[in-house]
Amino acid sequence: MSKIPKFNKLPNKADLDQLQKPLFSRLDKDIPASIVVFLVALPLCLGIALASGAPLLSGLISGIIGGIVIGSISGSAVSVSGPAASLTAVVLAAIGSLGNFEVFLMAVVLGGIFQFLLGIFKAGFIADYMPSNIIKGLLAAIGIILIIAQVPYALGIAPGVENYYDPSLPGGEQFTSFFTAFLNSVTAGSVVISVISLAILIFWDKTPLKNFQLLPPALIVVLLGVFLNLFFEHVVPFLHLNTAQLVNIPAIDHFSTLFTYPDFSSITNPQVWGVAITITLIASIASLLALEAADELDPHKRKSPPNRELVAQGIGNTLAGLIGGIPITTVIVRSSVNIKTGAETKLSAILHGFLLLASVLFLSSILNLIPLSSLAAILLVIGYNLASWDVIKTMYKKGWNQFIPFIVTIVAIIATDLLIGIFIGTLISIFFILKSNYHNAFFIENTRIFKGETIRLELANEVSFFNKASIKNTLWNVPEGSNVIIDATFSSFIDQDVLDIFDDFKETYAKEHNINLSIIGVKENYEVGKELNFVKEDIQQSKKQSTPAEILDYFKEGNERYTAGKLISRRLRNKELMDFINAPPLAAVVNCIDMREPLNVLMNTGIGDIIPIRTAGNLAGKDVLTSLEIACKEQGARFILFMGNSDNKIYIEALKNFGKGQATYISPLIADAVKALKISTEEVARRDLNEIADEITKWNLGRSMELVITESEYFRKKIEEGSKGMASAFFNRSTGKIEFSKLYSPSENALG
């Protein structure tokens, strides 16, 4: 047998860092992935720069920095950074308001410095508080946006309804004109390349092609698109794509023309500082959310350090501002492409940055051969994977509190933008969290242990001001004349506002409505002001006033809660145990030593409510009667319960011996029942022994109650006058249910 390994300590941060794969350990995965990411990032860098109103080269510069610089510093193995799509509107408006691009670059430099400081001061913790349904909604929204954005490129048409819509036409003709213009603009060559590319990507893993691992299917799609377009040019000219449907990288004549420098004189401009703070906040939040989303997609579920990511993004944005780049964030589109194409380490992100640099300097003419429809097909598949029907069904099955914020986040992101959509989705999620906290601050146990209504509120581990409303609403609706126990035993923190509510309830509502309030477990380290004491004397007096019928009902209700799974915690320290056992017990319970299940759990009673008396079998002998009298006379128990259980192994063993005609030391436990029930050796041989054992158990329980009356003058008198009570119970081990008899009456036959 192999030895079980010992874990002497939990891994620390240094240990976790070692779990990252070495940088050059998976070249077979990282190099192909970096090529695909590079091919996807290339048009995105250009497109985002164009949408931001910035020079096209600024997008490429940011892509290079995002890959090489941020990729090297970041602690993430799979995320990829680049120009920020979430900041396009901000950049466009800022360049216009600041007057020129050089002044805007100064704001980018300052924003990067601020981001770096956020990382140094460990502000990345905010990512840990983002609900998972918002992250999944973000991913799904990005997927839908990808699909919508890439359809025009897949069809080879110019994106934008304005290209096909003529508002001067009558209403009926507008649709016809729109549809005709749309069909006329579709490029047959783009459609052919898209369809073939999609077929390869969709069915690759369902064919023998999946065994070909030299190149990933996404890269094969890109190469195939180049060769198909060259084939169209020479063989099928009408399918050949023009330059508008291919990647277009501007040519670089001199290396020095790459860079644009910030206007440092504008550092005193308050407007520059305002733009810098805006960039800091949006870029930081967007990066942390994208990082969280990338970790969610990572098949190894590695946890990326958010503070280190802020430091990396800060350095990257500072450098981008210094040499002419637009703001950078972690980008979920490129990260998801990186993950889906098999990247294992951050080498893939770094290499994609070098490929962008090489493409700008040396390969623009070759890269300009790639059809946009090939890249669109890759992004369409990625978009579907992010927003597939399976994702939606999974979220729906988690319940409305998860599904509604998920859907709202998707719709809000698509209707507005990334950050506004996340903000709206988060507000909805917070609403459901607050609603959940409204009910989860405590567990309510409503019983009839004592005279009147008894309500126990067991507080949660942490009770914050979010729980004020639910606690106050519950306490101020307690029926008049009730007993209320507020149990803070298991709470490690209670907000002072909640303690004030308890104090107000005790001093006003409880007194005015004759409510007996007991508060236990409040600790001194968070208790401020007036002490709230457990009123032990009142509880003890109330227990003494409870009737046998009320105690029996309490046991019945407790077992119902047990079978329904509504249990109260029993994690008590010695001091709290002493508080419970100082109060009088409710009952003495006699059960067989075969029954090892805890009685206070099965009947969901308080600690100290039961005095257990264990015996072999369920017959009450002289010693048992003596113990019962002590429990009732000296300790104050008001009820006797004889409890049996199904599948009694002691009785089954005795029955086996009886069937063989053998008498052993356990045979007397069943002798009277066998005789009374007329059980023969033949019956034992043909029947299920568990059934016979259950019949014997129930007979012995009834016999024990008779013995209490016939052998004890004390109990006969007390039970007749009603000050003490007695009943039997049978515990079914398969269901957890307890079948209780009615209260024993000396005038009736207990075995009848």
How does residue 672 score in pLDDT terms, banded at 50, 70 and 90?
very high
The gap from C-alpha 333 to its chain's centroid, in whole angstroms, comes to: 24
Q: Binding residue per annotation — 592?
A: yes
153 and 300 fall within a common domain: yes
Fill in the amino acid letter for 737: K
Q: What are phi and psi of 743, to 5 degrees?
A: -60, 135
Fill in the amino acid letter for 74: S
Residue 237 maps to a domain: no
pLDDT value for 20 = 60
Show the CA angle centred on residue 214, arms to residues 212 and 217, nearest 5°: 70
Which of 65, 94, 91, 95 minimizes the C-alpha distance to 80?
A: 65
Whether 316 contacts 66, CB under 8 Å: yes
DSSP H helices in 636-680: 649-659, 668-677
pLDDT value for 105 = 96
367 vs 742, higher pLDDT: 742
pLDDT value for 528 = 40
Q: Tens digits of per-residue pLDDT, 168-209?
A: 555 556 556 656 666 777 888 999 999 999 998 888 878 887
pLDDT value for 648 = 92
380 and 469 fall within a common domain: no
How does residue 538 score in pLDDT terms, banded at 50, 70 and 90?
very low
Beta strands in 355-505 (DSSP E): 442-447, 454-459, 462-463, 483-487, 493-494
337 and 396 fall within a common domain: no
105 and 140 fall within a common domain: yes
725 and 661 fall within a common domain: yes
Residues 448-453 have a mean pLDDT of 49
Residue 513 maps to a domain: yes
How does residue 8 score in pLDDT terms, banded at 50, 70 and 90?
very low
pLDDT value for 28 = 85
Segment of 332-336, 433-437, 567-571 carrying the highest mean pLDDT: 332-336
Largest CA distance in the chain: 115
Given 543, 573, 607, the domain boundary residue is 543
Burial classification of residue 652, based on how many CB atoms lie within 10 Å of its CB (0-12 exposed, 13-18 middle, 19 or more buried): middle
Structure tokens given for 70: 């941020």
pLDDT value for 527 = 43
Q: Please state which of the ranges 51-60, 210-219, 495-504 shows the lowest mean pLDDT.
A: 210-219
Residues 207-217 have a mean pLDDT of 73
How does residue 510 score in pLDDT terms, banded at 50, 70 and 90?
confident
Structure tokens given for 607: 């600690």
CATH of the domain at 464: 3.30.750.24
pLDDT value for 2 = 37
Q: Which domain holds residue 455?
A: 441-543
pLDDT value for 374 = 85
- State percent of the chain over pLDDT 90: 29
178 and 302 fall within a common domain: yes
Strands lying side by side in the sheet with 610-615: 610-615, 587-592, 639-645, 725-731, 738-740
Q: Which residue has the tokens 């227990």?
A: 543
Residues 6+ apart with CB under 8 A from 565: none
Which of 22, 26, 46 minimizes the C-alpha distance to 34?
A: 26
393 and 520 fall within a common domain: no
Residues 681-697 have a mean pLDDT of 92
Cα distance between residue 329 and residue 108, in whole Å? 12
473 and 433 fall within a common domain: no
For the chain, percent helix, then strand, then coil, each to nearest 5? 60, 10, 30
126 and 258 fall within a common domain: yes
Residue 490 maps to a domain: yes
Residues 6+ apart with CB under 8 A from 197: 221, 224, 225, 373, 374, 377, 378
| Contacts by residues 435-438 (CB-CB < 8 Å, ≥ 24 positions apart) | 435/401, 436/401, 437/464, 437/466, 437/467, 437/470, 438/466, 438/467, 438/469, 438/470
Q: Please state which of the ranges 145-149, 339-343, 568-572 shows the lowest mean pLDDT.
A: 568-572
Cα distance between residue 255 and residue 145, in whole Å? 36
Tell me if the pTM is above 0.75.
no
* DSSP-assigned states of every residue in 576-602: HHHHHHTSPPSEEEEEETT--S-HHHH
Whether 247 contacts 42, CB under 8 Å: yes
Cα distance between residue 241 and residue 187, in whole Å? 8
pLDDT at 4 over 70: no
pLDDT at 9 over 60: no
DSSP H helices in 204-269: 217-234
Residues 457-466 have a mean pLDDT of 74
Cα distance between residue 742 and residue 726, in whole Å? 9
Cα distance between residue 62 and residue 325, in whole Å? 5
Residues 575-581 have a mean pLDDT of 56
Residues 6+ apart with CB under 8 A from 508: none
pLDDT value for 536 = 41
Residues 6+ apart with CB under 8 A from 620: 590, 628, 642, 704, 707, 708, 711
pLDDT value for 629 = 93
How many CA within 13 A on the CB side of residue 323? 18
Q: How many CB atoms lie within 10 A of CB 361?
A: 11
Fill in the amino acid letter for 569: S
pLDDT value for 17 = 42
Q: What are phi and psi of 299, to 5 degrees?
A: -60, -25
How does residue 429 score in pLDDT terms, banded at 50, 70 and 90?
confident
pLDDT value for 359 = 84
pLDDT value for 270 = 92
pLDDT at 394 over 80: yes
178 and 196 fall within a common domain: yes
pLDDT at 568 over 60: no
Residues 244-261 have a mean pLDDT of 76
What 3-state DSSP class applies to 727? strand
Q: Which residue has the tokens 């194409």?
A: 341
Cα distances from 371 to residues 38, 191, 375, in angstroms, run: 14, 11, 7
pLDDT at 685 over 60: yes
253 and 327 fall within a common domain: yes
Domain count across the chain: 4
Structure tokens given for 722: 């009603």
Residues 564-579 have a mean pLDDT of 56
675 vs 537, higher pLDDT: 675
Cα distance between residue 595 and residue 593, in whole Å? 5
pLDDT value for 18 = 38
pLDDT value for 740 = 94
Cα distance between residue 699 and residue 619, in whole Å? 9
pLDDT at 750 over 60: no
Segment of 95-109, 234-248, 249-263 carrying the highest mean pLDDT: 95-109
The gap from C-alpha 20 to its chain's centroid, in whole angstroms, comes to: 25
Residue 556 maps to a domain: no
The gap from C-alpha 568 to its chain's centroid, in whole angstroms, comes to: 24
How does residue 40 score in pLDDT terms, banded at 50, 70 and 90?
confident
Q: Please state which of the ranges 116-120, 147-151, 466-470 shows the lowest mean pLDDT.
A: 466-470
Residues 145-162 have a mean pLDDT of 74
Q: Binding residue per annotation — 632?
A: no
* Length of the chain in terms of residues written: 752
Which of 516, 587, 519 minimizes the C-alpha distance to 549?
A: 587
pLDDT at 444 over 80: no
385 vs 16, higher pLDDT: 385
pLDDT value for 90 = 76
How does residue 484 score in pLDDT terms, banded at 50, 70 and 90?
confident
pLDDT value for 539 = 46
Residues 625-635 have a mean pLDDT of 91
pLDDT value for 6 = 39
Segment of 385-399, 458-472, 577-591 carrying the highest mean pLDDT: 385-399
pLDDT value for 655 = 93
Residue 74 maps to a domain: yes
pLDDT value for 582 = 66
How does residue 627 score in pLDDT terms, banded at 50, 70 and 90?
very high
* DSSP-assigned states of every residue in 311-322: HHHHHHHHHHHH
Whether 15 contacts 339, CB under 8 Å: no
Q: What are phi and psi of 308, to 5 degrees?
A: -65, -35
Q: Please state which of the ranges 98-102, 429-433, 540-544 shows the lowest mean pLDDT.
A: 540-544
pLDDT at 451 over 60: no
Cα distance between residue 586 and residue 452, in whole Å? 16
How does residue 457 score in pLDDT terms, banded at 50, 70 and 90?
confident
180 and 125 fall within a common domain: yes
Residue 239 maps to a domain: no
Q: Please state which of the ranges 390-394, 435-439, 495-499 shows the lowest mean pLDDT.
A: 435-439
Structure tokens given for 32: 């192909």
Residue 147 maps to a domain: yes
What 3-state DSSP class applies to 308? helix
Cα distances from 489 to residues 345, 475, 524, in angstroms, run: 48, 18, 12
Residue 190 maps to a domain: yes
Which of 577, 576, 557 minimizes the C-alpha distance to 567?
A: 557
pLDDT at 341 over 50: yes
Q: Tens digits of per-residue pLDDT, 301-338?
A: 788 889 999 999 999 999 999 999 999 999 888 898 88
Which of 341, 344, 352, 416 minimizes the C-alpha distance to 382?
A: 341
pLDDT value for 449 = 45
Cα distance between residue 266 and residue 106, in whole Å? 7
pLDDT at 167 over 60: no
